[in-house]
Amino acid sequence: MLGDYSLGDLGAIFAMQGFAGLILFSVYLLMALGLAIIFGQMGVINMAHGEFMILGAYVTYLCSTFCQTYLPALFPIYFFIAMGLAFLASGALGMLVEWGLIRFLYKRPLDTLLATWGLSLILQQAYRSIFGAREVGVELPSWLIGSVQVTDTIEIPINGLFVMAVTILITVCVALLIFRSRFGQQVRAVMSNRAMAGAVGIDTEKVDRYTFGLGCGIAGIAGSAFTMIGSTGPTSGQLYIVDTFLIVVFGGAASLLGTIASAFSISQTQSTLEFFLSGSMAKVITLLAVVGILMLRPQGLFTLKVRR
Amino acid sequence: MADDTETGADHGLRSPLRRRLLMGLAGAPALALMPRKAWAAPPTAAVNTTGLAVTDTEVTVGILHSITGTMAISETGAQEAEKLAIQQINDAGGVLGRKIKIIQEDGASDWPTFAEKAKKLLVNDHCAAVMGCWTSASRKAVLPVFEQYNGLLYYPTFYEGLEQSKNVFYTGQEATQQILAGLDWVHKEKGGDSFYFIGSDYIWPRTSNKIARKHVENVLKGKVVGEEYFPLGHTQFNSVINKIKLTKPKVIFADVVGGSNVAFYKQLKAAGIDLSKQVLMTISVTEDEIDGIGGENIAGAYACMKYFQSIDNENNKAFVAAFKKMWGEKTVIGDVTQAAYLGPFLWKMACEKAGSFDVDKVVAASPGIEFKGAPEGYVKIDENHHLWSKTRVGKAKTDGQFEIVYTSPELIKPDPFPKGYQ
Amino acid sequence: MTNPVQTLTKSVTVNDNPFMKPVEWLSLFLLAGVILVVLPLMLDGFRLNLVGKYLTYAFVALGLVICWGYAGILSLGQGVFFGLGGYGMAMYLKLEASSIENTKIQSTPGIPDFMDWNQITALPWFWQPFKSLPLTIVLAVAVPVLFAMLISFAMFKRRVGGTYFAIITQAIAAILTILIVGQQGYTGGINGITDLRTLHGWDIRTDSAKFILYFVNGGLLIACILAAQYVKKSKLGRILVAMRDKEDRVRFSGYSVAGFKVFAFCFAAGLAAIGGAMFTLQVGFMSPSFVGIVPSIEMVIYAAVGGRLSLFGAVWGTLLVNWAKTSFSESFPDLWLFGLGALFIAVVLAFPNGLAGIWREHIEPRLTRRAKSLQAPEPAIVPPHGAPAE
């Protein structure tokens, strides 16, 4: 299929295709980061992760309508405010859920799956009752629309670049928070040995609550960013859940680096395959490859050396 | 079964008594003072010989759409239009002197649930007719139920054709009716000779694209440079957009549905494909979808439908006003919503023509029924249970509405089994 | 907080216990009585058919009790096996419904209608065996079991742990759904295989056929309960429990842990497949929506609501959840998801052992006391029940 095109064309396509892969990588990483904290660090199987993302998306929607009606001056930069609010809203809801539900279930990780599944049903219905069953459209400030013309033939979508920037920023923040801050030290201590962490005076309950809240808050940011490239409706969250879990598991659950590596390899595989095959088959082959590798290497790409 | 005989006996007992009462009254001079409707209603035993849920004052009709799940996004409008139509019919006196009572069930975007609820509406509630279903899959799931229990379904969505059932009336367009006129238009007006097909991976887009491909290759003598399908709910289209850039088709022909739609158009716009230069024709985006996509992301695209909210005629103005009054100023009306609105009226006219609610009689009376008050203009029911209708091409505007750029001159005959396109 | 699961494993630790204790016989008769006598007398044809449909899910829940409750393997992909079993049966029924006579308007008569719509002109090879009923019955169960073996053998050999296994099975469910939907010429796509009419010439759409199928289904379910009870009570069952609680010790004692796990998973897959086949027969079509993730998780919830360690509980749980779902959604079509979600959360928080837990903690002791079965108090030594995940 490539024979008929000039070299310049091909180069441009490969460059754009490379960026397409990178954008997909950012999307996947952003989706998976929150879950990597909740599932990877805490062992909680949060099936409502997608719904926390959509909460962020709805917050963005509200923000955009509010700014349009009352504060048109703020509209060009509302997206940053929206992301902050999305983080706070999803994080607060996350902490509430941890307090009311998850903290009773730390000893039964598989039960968290069932409880959060119930939660996701409730949240979906709540969104439907509040915002209506139809999808809502989030209007973007004009500077986020369109693409950057790199050369005559190479164009890079701006919102893709924006998602990439957000992803890098969040990833760096999370890494600093987990590996360089006192809070992160406590999180890691609690996750590796809860009883011992408690014994040395760490308030484990508080750490749990903030960790869960942090994971959900990041989901909220992801949802907010995705309003630029995807749909916002009561059930949109479900679209992401399988991919997200697979990325985290493939990376090796407890490893942040693993999550990054796995998001990268899955997104590149899928993006390349999509170019040469039809969309459905690309998806099937990517998932099959992931499952196949997990069968051979069940601990994922990267793993902490823990004695089981 | 026990239920059926019981209600039958019930009617048998009640009706002669009622008839005697009416006859007694007939002589009374007071009759002239009574409102006309009160006695115009024919006796229940005469209009209902098959044990449907019909009383002297009420007739039960089912509404079966997804209120929850992924399809609720699309099906909400259809369901709202059906309720509006039924309310209007009731305000005007009902059907055969009886008010319509609605029983609503939730198909929950799950095909087996649709089958279960359809059976409930027919077997348990004895609905005289059911307005419902949206996806082809849900229709296929309920079809055997309607055929077995001899129910009546009014199905509002544009769909792939290849089906014709005694028990179903299709108020949307079948694929050839919807697509061919649009393709001809894009070929003639926009010089479309190379096409790129992109769709969601299920039967409707695949069949529609198959028909479109035959038409492009055999009739328009153009070529199809690509054909792609993505799983329902897919949200990443950057790779295929690159492929489109590489193959440079004259026309992108899109039948992506649901949440994928939003992602597709947003990413298309972001990738710098300017729809005012690149011709894109879609058969799956109505005003409803634009609400989620955002008008600025899709402005310039052409959609091929039988109805747009912006159609300029008296019927449509009244319909749009009534719809907004009932469901809010901000709601928009898409093709399927309008088709759903037709269902209750077509059923009412058939019942009145047949003088009965009995499914067999209603079915027999239906072909040839003309509905001049349809928002889309005049429609009529064909022998094959589909509607004759016009096809229109609309150009999407930033405000979420379509500017109609082409209307087929004549009503197009529905042809669910098109020769040469299979 | 004491672990409430502890009380449930009691029966397993007693060595010389009979096949079923008196209370268990009582539960069995109660269940059989309700399914085979009370419900058919109480309900009309439509509702009875609905119960029949629910009971097909109970097969899956039963399998999950063995595989999740006893062996500690949580599978989020049981829908795959349910679906494969159902598709097997549906393929046979579809071929029978697509006789040359019935399909003469097609361009290729004698093949299923959806193949004709997709320009397929000959029956694909993997459809061929489903022309014969005996072969279909064998394949409808054998294919899912073999598939389960394939998946699980590779994974358990490499000691894939609880949550990982759950996520992988979930991914497999996703893959299979996309594949079935994408290959619509061979599988019927998203519409599934619809419009099934006769089983070996017997019209399964009539009310009398549905009535008979209900009893066949109920009988099969009781048989499967007994089979599962046999597995649970045999030495095998005890090894499964031992494995769940201390996998390494069992391995060091010389048992092949992987082999037993594979068995438990395949057993559950087989039960799910029977359920799927019965579903197709009673409902009259099969759809890819069963293969997906949502139904797979729902099926786990049935087992959880019933009590993951109780075979009878699983059946009651299935009935309860589905009844709740149907009646909530009929009375409050706009709000029923709230009720359903709340039910799941309540079960997990308040009744971690589900209905069976309530029964064993509150009702069974009273029964035993009343029956005065004169047994010495059972030793209360119980293996600590860790989270099934580890």
Domain-wise residue ranges, chain A: 7-296
Distance of CA A51 to the CA centre of its chain: 11
Nearest to A278 by CA among C346, B98, C182: C182
Q: Are strands B302-305 and B392-396 parallel, antiparallel or unpaired?
A: antiparallel
How far is A240 from A33, CA to CA, in rounded Å?
Answer: 13
Chain B hits for C181, Cβ within 8 Å: 201-202, 231-232
To the nearest 10°, the Cα dihedral for A22, A25, A31, A33?
-110
Q: Do B230 and A16 touch (CB under 8 A)?
A: no
Q: Of the ranges A126-130, C193-197, C373-377, which one carries the lowest mean pLDDT score?
A: C373-377
Residues on chain B touching A135 (C-beta within 8 angstroms): 73, 259, 262, 289, 291-292
Return the ∠ at Cα B118 (arms to B117 and B121), rounded to 5°. Answer: 85
Which residues, 6 or more positions from B7, have their beta carbon under 8 angstroms from its beta carbon? Answer: B51, B126
- β-strands B370-371, B302-305 pairing: unpaired
């029923």: which residue's tokens? C336
Q: Do A295 and C155 touch (CB under 8 A)?
A: yes
C301/B402: higher pLDDT: B402
Q: How far from C36 is each of C23, C41, C211, C213, C216, CA to CA, in Å?
A: 20, 9, 11, 12, 10
Asked if C258 is an interface residue toward chain A (Cβ–Cβ < 8 A), one would say no
- Token output for C58: 């109970």
- Among A125, A246, A253, select the one facing C335 at the smallest CB separation: A125
Rounded to whole angstroms, the Cα distance separating C78 from C173 reads 8
In this complex, is the C-beta atom of C226 within 8 Å of any C-beta atom belonging to chain A? no
The neighbours of chain B, by the rule of 3 or more Cβ pairs under 8 Å, are A, C
Query: Among A174-183, B17-26, C63-72, C178-187, which stretch is predicted with the lowest mean pLDDT?
Result: B17-26
CA-nearest residue of chain C to B233? Answer: C178
Sequence-separated (6 or more) residues with CB below 8 Å from residue A147: A155, A156, A157, A158, B270, B271, B272
Res. C21: pLDDT tops 90: no
For the ranges A5-9, C17-21, C155-159, C224-228, the one whose mean pLDDT is highest: C224-228
Give the confidence band of A303 by pLDDT, cuts at 50, 70, 90.
low
The confidence score (pLDDT) of residue C16 equals: 55
Which residue of B206, B266, B273, B330 to mutate against A (max A Cβ within 10 Å)?
A: B266
pLDDT band at B403 (very low <50, low <70, confident <90, very high): very high
Residues of A in contact with B290 (CB under 8 A): 137
User: What is the reported pLDDT for B411?
Assistant: 93
Record the tokens describing residue C80, joined without a space: 């795959």
- Is residue C175 less than 8 Å (CB to CB) from chain B? no
Please indicate whether, in this complex, the C-beta atoms of A157 and B294 are within 8 angstroms of each other.
no
ipTM of the shown complex:
0.86
A45 has a chain C CB within 8 A of its CB:
yes
CA distance C165 to chain A (A): 9
Mean pLDDT score, A217-225: 94
For residue A191, the tally of other CB atoms under 10 A from its CB is: 20
Compute the average pLDDT of residues B138-152.
93
Average pLDDT, chain A: 87
Q: What is the pLDDT of residues B259-318, one digit of tens each?
A: 788 889 988 988 888 899 999 999 999 998 898 888 989 999 999 999 999 999 999 999
Q: Is the Cβ of B336 closer than 8 Å to some Cβ of chain A? A: no
- Judge whether C150 is closer than 8 Å to chain A, CB to CB: no
For residue A197, give how far its alpha carbon lies from the nearest alpha carbon of chain B (Å): 42
C383 touches chain A (CB under 8 A): no
Task: Nearest chain C residue to A110 by CA: give it.
Answer: C389
Of A80-84, A143-147, C370-374, the least confident: C370-374
**A298 or B44: which carries more pLDDT confidence?**
B44
A:182-241 residues touching chain B, CB 8 A cutoff: 226, 228-236, 238-239
CB contacts, 8 Å: A27 with chain B: 236
User: For residue C388, what pLDDT band results from cuts at 50, 70 and 90?
Assistant: very low
By C-alpha distance, the chain A residue nearest B231 is A280
Confidence of residue C279 (pLDDT cuts 50, 70, 90): very high
CB contact under 8 A, B203 and C117: yes
DSSP A149: E
pLDDT surpassing 80 at residue C29 = yes
Q: C365, exposed or middle or buried, with CB in 10 Å at 0-12, 13-18, 19+?
A: exposed
- Asked if the model's pLDDT at residue A146 lies above 60, the reply is yes
> pTM for this one?
0.87
Burial B3-18 (b: 16+ CB within 10 A, else e): eeeebeeebeeebeee
DSSP-derived 3-state class of residue C177 = helix
Question: Number of C-alpha atoms within 13 angstroms, CB side, residue C315?
Answer: 26
- Residues A12-24: tens digit of each pLDDT: 778 888 888 898 8
**Cβ within 8 Å, pair B69-A235:** yes
Q: Do A235 and B73 touch (CB under 8 A)?
A: yes
From CA C7, how far away is CA C360, in angstroms rounded? 9
* pLDDT for B19: 44
Distance from CA of A92 to the nearest CA of C (A): 20
Domains of chain B: 2-173+324-387 (3.40.50.2300), 175-305+390-407 (3.40.50.2300)
Q: Does any CB of chain A come closer than 8 Å to the CB of residue C60?
A: no
What does pLDDT average to over chain B? Answer: 88
Take residue B185 and report the two structure tokens written for it: 């238009």
Q: Collect all residues of chain C within an 8 Å Cβ-Cβ radius of residue A126.
A: 338
CA dihedral A200, A202, A208, A214 (to 10 degrees): -130
H or E segment to which residue B254 belongs: strand B251-255
Best mutation target among C78, C186, C348, C351 (most A Cβ atoms within 10 Å) is C348
**What pLDDT is stored for residue B42 in this prediction?**
85
Distance, in Å, from the CA atom of A134 to the CA atom of B83, rounded to the nearest integer, reads 17
Of B254, B251, B275, nearest to B264 by C-alpha is B254
Q: Can you give the pLDDT at residue B7?
A: 40
Among A69, A238, A119, CA closest to B72:
A238
CB-side neighbour CA atoms (13 Å) of C117: 25
Å between C72 CA and nearest CA of chain A: 10
Label the pairing between strands B168-170 and B302-305.
Answer: unpaired
Query: Which of 44-73 (B) contact A at CB < 8 A?
Result: 67-70, 72-73
Indicate which of B104, B197, B262 best probes the interface with A, i.e. most A CBs within 10 Å of its own CB: B262
Range from A205-219, B40-54, B152-166 carrying the lowest mean pLDDT: B40-54
Establish if B119 touches chain C: CB-CB under 8 angstroms. Answer: yes
